Amino acid sequence: MGPAEQDLALVQEVYDAFARADVPRIMALFADDGTVSQSPELPWGGTHTGHSGLGHFLATLTGHLDSHPVTERLIADGAGHVVQVGRTRGVVRATGSPFDVPEVHVFTLRGGRVHRFEAYLDTAAMRAALDAPVAVTAQAPGEDP
């Protein structure tokens, strides 16, 4: 397996661990001094360093969202970078407001671990979902409120 294939396999393992909510595995795949970066316009945004920063990022993200990345394409340059093009879909936990937002993730890899993870998404669309009022569910006739 060449460098590009190894990098793609590592990134796929990160997404698989995220889908299982396997935080210990996610931590093992990230360098001890790695960084996570996303727009500071989001509650989980900013730059987070090390495993404590990654833990804070993940806890804040999952505290706000029940989200599921959908990868449309993974691109590896063979020199330690993988780009994911896709969407993130889910609901805002506090309100039930749904979202389906385009995203791009950029991974910088070295020594079989993630050293930098950059997340880019349609921040305005995500802010709109976060700021939306509580979703109202329809009641069947005769149901008590």
Domain ranges of the chain: 3-131
Residue 22 CA to residue 136 CA, distance in Å, equals 32
pLDDT, position 119: 98
Cβ–Cβ < 8 Å for 18, 69: yes
β-bridge mates for residue 101, sequence order: 88
Q: Could you identify the residue written with the tokens 């931590």?
A: 27
β-bridge mates for residue 99, sequence order: 90
Indicate the fold that domain 3-131 takes in CATH. Nuclear Transport Factor 2; Chain: A, (3.10.450)
pLDDT by residue for the chain (145 residues), tens digit each? 899 999 999 999 999 999 999 999 999 999 999 999 999 999 999 999 999 999 999 999 999 999 999 999 999 999 999 999 999 999 999 999 999 999 999 999 999 999 999 999 999 999 999 999 886 665 555 555 5
Residue 8 CA to residue 41 CA, distance in Å, equals 29
**Strand 113-121, strand 30-38: pairing:** parallel
